Amino acid sequence: MVERDKLLDVQGLKTYFETDRGVVKAVDDISYHVKEGETVGIVGESGCGKSVTALSIMNLVQGPRGRVAGGKIMYTTKGGERVEITALPPYSPKMRAIRGSEISMIFQEPMTALNPVYTIGEQIAETVCLHQKVSKKKGRERAIEMLELVGIAAPSRRINEYPHQLSGGMRQRAMIGMALSCDPRFLIADEPTTALDVTIEAQILDLMLHLQEKLGMAMQFITHDLGVISTMAKRVVVMYTGHVVEKASVDDIFYDPRHPYTKGLLASVPTLGRQERLVPIKGTVPNMNELPKGCYFSPRCQEAMDICHQEEPPSYQLEGDHIVKCWLWEQEGVRLP
Ligand code: SF4
């Protein structure tokens, strides 16, 4: 019953990379799901595994260096078929049909994601022609329609411009247009506004919320900005060094955070009218080749106990769907397998 509701179901996913200094466990045994039409926020500092999770869903982690080493990603298609994405070869016809058409992605930096030698119109039209099997003329018409939808003025003229002729905000809008051109049911937005100034960021976030409502799609919104998450997401997954350390509703994360890392992230968010000083999390994310013993957050944690430096903490279920991976909840939480 619950399963059918889940558009995307990530179960114990492990994505590892072979490096000259050993195996890097960029994503290590994470589980979460996204229901139809909802937005789930994935937060954490750079290097916590957020983008690798997204690339795993797109089935774009390729050998010989990168591989999905365990777990699975299940996706329910438009036709109701449950597909195990992690079992499909990356360039199989089935995966190609899902990628871009059912699941789409907005990348962080449009200048590197858009092809500089093709006009934005050609790039959007190509996606449409490939996935919807329509003529070039129809593809071009759809490209104009998408540029209009994302608020680009004079779309029939702009369609002939190259990425370098557009401003940063315009390029990001064009990329959103391209990602949405085939009416995806699930959109992964990987830090889509990080490179933009705040006024453009507000416009783009507004646009995405509006389009989500209009198209009824689900979103996985990746960011290190908790302010953005509070506007966009209903549920939040907090990641640290490839692990999910806390997941809960957006209200629980903001008003009742339980993991010291989540508390640290919230304490370092600047807000208007805030009287007290910002408290940054001390230290930095550890090198993935030299992870500390026990809890990977222990060298930075203000509440670390002896056991934290010895043993990795299990995950505990607290009230409702609130889950936290921290020894502090050994007494009150229900230990998960
Ligand atoms: Fe801090 Fe220990 Fe919890 Fe890790 S397990 S977050 S070190 S209290």
The pLDDT tens digits for 202-241 are 888 888 888 788 888 999 999 888 888 988 999 999 999 9
Mutate to test the pocket of ligand 1, among 295, 312, 323 (most ligand atoms within 8 A of CB): 295
Specify whether 155 is located in the same domain as 61. Answer: no
pLDDT at residue 2 in the model: 43
Q: Which residues contact 71 (CB under 8 A, 6 or more apart)?
A: 10, 11, 12, 13, 14, 29, 30, 31, 86
Boundary of a domain, candidates 183, 198, 217: 183
Single out the residue of 312, 272, 270 nearest to residue 293, CA to CA. 312
Domain assignment of residue 164, yes or no? yes
Specify whether 38 is located in the same domain as 142. Answer: no
Domain assignment of residue 60, yes or no? yes
Domain hosting 126: range is 114-183
The number of the ligand 1 atom at minimal distance from the alpha carbon of 295 is 4
Give yes or no for residue 298 CB within 6 A of ligand 1: yes
Domain assignment of residue 109, yes or no? no
* Alpha carbon of 297 to ligand 1 centroid (Å): 6
Give yes or no for residue 304 CB within 6 A of ligand 1: yes
Give yes or no for residue 301 CB within 6 A of ligand 1: yes
Specify whether 85 is located in the same domain as 201. Answer: yes
Nearest CA to ligand 1 atom 7: 298
Using 70 as the pLDDT threshold, list the residues of the chain that sit under it.
1-4, 195, 272-275
Specify whether 231 is located in the same domain as 266. Answer: yes
Specify whether 12 is located in the same domain as 141. Answer: no
Domain assignment of residue 332, yes or no? yes
CATH code of the domain in which 18 resides:
3.40.50.300
Boundary of a domain, candidates 183, 205, 229: 183
Residue 181 and residue 149 in contact, taking contact as beta carbons nearer than 8 Å:
no
Domain assignment of residue 107, yes or no? no
**How many of the other CB atoms lie within 10 Å of CB of 233?**
23
Specify whether 175 is located in the same domain as 191. Answer: no
Specify whether 206 is located in the same domain as 333. Answer: yes
Boundary of a domain, candidates 183, 205, 240: 183
pTM of the model: 0.90
The number of the ligand 1 atom at minimal distance from the alpha carbon of 261 is 6
pLDDT at residue 295 in the model: 97
The number of the ligand 1 atom at minimal distance from the alpha carbon of 303 is 8
Specify whether 336 is located in the same domain as 192. Answer: yes
Domain count across the chain: 2
Specify whether 172 is located in the same domain as 190. Answer: no
